[in-house]
Structure 1
Amino acid sequence: MAAFLAALLERPHIRPEFLVNGETPHPPLRFCVAVAGFRPRGPDGDAVFATPFLTPTLHVLGKNDIIVVEERSKTLLDVSENKRVEWHDGGHFVPSKASWRTFFREYLRNPTGSVPSPGSAAGSQPASGAATPDVIVA
Structure 2
Amino acid sequence: MTTVEPVDPTSRPTELYLVEWYDAILTGAPLARTTAALEASAATISAGGAEVRLELTLVAPSDDVLYGVFKSDNPELVVRACQHAGWTPDRVTANISANLTTAARLDSFSSAEADTPAPSESCQAGEVVAVTGVEDEPISVAL
Higher helix share: 1
Higher strand share: 2
Larger radius of gyration: 1
TM-score past 0.5 threshold: no
TM-score (norm 2): 0.26
